[in-house]
Amino acid sequence: MYEYAIAWEWLAFAARWFHVITAIAWIGSSFYFIALDLGLVKRPHLPPGAYGEEWQVHGGGFYHIQKYLVAPAQMPEHLTWFKYESYFTWISGFLMLCIVYYGGANLFLIDRHVLDVSVPVAILISLASLVGGWIVYDLLCKSPLGNNTWGLMIVLYAVLVFMAWGYTHLFTGRAAFLHLGAFTATIMSANVFMIIIPNQKIVVADLIAGRTPDPKYGRIAKQRSLHNNYLTLPVIFFMLSNHYPLAFGTAYNWVIAALVFLMGVTIRHWFNTTHARKGHPTWTWIVTVVLFIVIMWLSTVPKVLTEEKEANAIPPAFQQYASDIHFSSVKEIVSTRCTMCHSAEPVYEGIVRPPKGVMLENDEQIAMHAREIYIQAGRSHAMPPGNVTEVTPEERKLLVAWFESSIGEKSQ
Ligand code: HEC
């Protein structure tokens, strides 16, 4: 059933397309509102209940926006809500998690040198960590600590660093970073879904019923928004990190993650201060650059290996692909066309690490990456880049035949 591999690849692309679009919409609107909020000016002629106003110009027109801290005296006829951006970012992100990390768990989620678990157990750990993360976070915000903005932020930071460490001790480095992003983004989306929007609905219901809404609902929502504000940039870093093995695949990856969360704060602090027209705190950029240089350096520190773990148990995929009639020719093609780049110590000039962590040196690795070899070098000409090692059309046909026949054998 090779059609399945092709459909899967396209499904993954569709989900990613959708995810990036919704994320742009969500982050775009949330950054817009943060900047708007900070830029509001108090003026004497404002209507009762209004806190501030701002003039903006965009797309050929002028906008005059006024903000009511609790609510206006009367319900407006039509209210625009901003919530689906966030919901669909989470839903599409979860879909990607299922497609890439649950569907490809043996390759991308589980590292048997880190934790030797079965696919269902790894998926359960992943799901439990996302749900558990929200519960712990929400309890912390609702505890007495929640009244102390800075105290809460420091404890939350400690939780995130602990999760960074924890995830790197559960999954592959790549999955660890992705999960750290998903953990954080789940908190952000749940803030919108479970706190910010429900509180807003209570206020609207009070207004319609002619009651004066309790300002505490707005305050709580504001605190959750503040967290979302500082968490946005790190989440994007973690989501993009799977393209950069130096970030996720090196010995001190969890320390790198801890520093990334700090960069999220220093960068946002500059924008928050500037939008509030309280000056331009240049020091935040100096701190950001220093953090980035430390991260670059950390990625070069080698791991001190105390004991080499036992070799993996041979995965089932291996039997399936290695027993195929074409396997010996596939090995020949891969070792002459791919291994110079895709090995632990690449010999191709300018390549210092196996690209994307893909190593194709032995039978097991080739079998493990069968589907990717099929997509990257069989069905498409993505690999090798620029066909530098001159893979012939016949060789590509053979890679295709290999994957399709061994898949076919299994499904019969
Ligand atoms: C000249 C060096 C070079 C050669 C030769 C080469 N690759 Fe790659 N490969 C790369 C680079 C660089 C990347 C990372 C591309 C990127 O960042 O998008 C990569 C990425 C990959 C990936 C991961 C793609 C992904 O997006 O996850 C696979 C699978 C792969 N190569 C397979 C192969 C196969 C199969 C061959 C032989 C037919 C091959 N490569 C030959 C350099 C090479």
125-138 mean pLDDT: 97
Give the tens place of pLDDT for each residue, 1-41.
788 888 988 999 999 999 999 999 999 999 999 889 888 99
Cβ-Cβ contacts under 8 Å for 339 (sequence gap 6 or more): 360, 361
Closest to 322 in 3D by CA, of 313, 331, 310: 331
* Nearest alpha carbon, ligand 1 atom 3: 341
141-165 mean pLDDT: 95
Q: CB atoms < 10 A from the CB of 49, how many? A: 13
pLDDT above 60 (res 297):
yes
pLDDT more than 90, % of the chain? 61
Q: Compute the distance from residue 353 Cα to the ligand 1 centre, in Å.
A: 11
Q: Compute the distance from residue 354 Cα to the ligand 1 centre, in Å.
A: 9
Give the tens place of pLDDT for each residue, 258-282.
999 999 999 999 999 998 889 999 9
Give the tens place of pLDDT for each residue, 154-183.
999 999 999 999 999 999 889 999 999 999
361-374 mean pLDDT: 91
75-87 mean pLDDT: 88
CA distances to 159, 185, 191, 226 from 220, rounded to whole Å, are: 20, 19, 10, 10
CA angle 16, 18, 19 (to 5 degrees): 60
| Res. 306 pLDDT band, cuts 50 70 90 | very low
Counting Cα atoms < 13 Å in the Cβ hemisphere of 120 gives 0
CA distances to 142, 189, 274, 366 from 288, rounded to whole Å, are: 31, 26, 16, 41
* Nearest alpha carbon, ligand 1 atom 20: 355
What is the dihedral sign for C-alpha 58, 61, 64, 65?
negative
Contact (Cβ atoms closer than 8 angstroms) between residue 374 and residue 399: yes
Q: Residues lining ligand 1, judged by CB closer than 6 Å?
A: 243, 334, 337-338, 340-342, 348, 351, 355-356, 358, 369, 372-373, 376-377, 383-385, 388-389, 391
pLDDT above 90 (res 406):
no
Predicted local confidence at residue 351, as pLDDT:
85
Out of 100, 336, 358, mutate this one to test ligand 1's pocket (max ligand atoms within 8 Å of CB): namely 358
pLDDT above 70 (res 303):
no
* Nearest alpha carbon, ligand 1 atom 10: 355
Using CB atoms within 10 A of its CB, is residue 179 exposed (0-12), middle (13-18) or buried (19+)? buried
Predicted local confidence at residue 412, as pLDDT:
42
Predicted local confidence at residue 311, as pLDDT:
46
Predicted local confidence at residue 411, as pLDDT:
47
| Res. 407 pLDDT band, cuts 50 70 90 | confident
Instruction: Give the position, in ligand 1's atom list, of the atom nearest the Cα of 373.
Output: 35
* Nearest alpha carbon, ligand 1 atom 13: 355
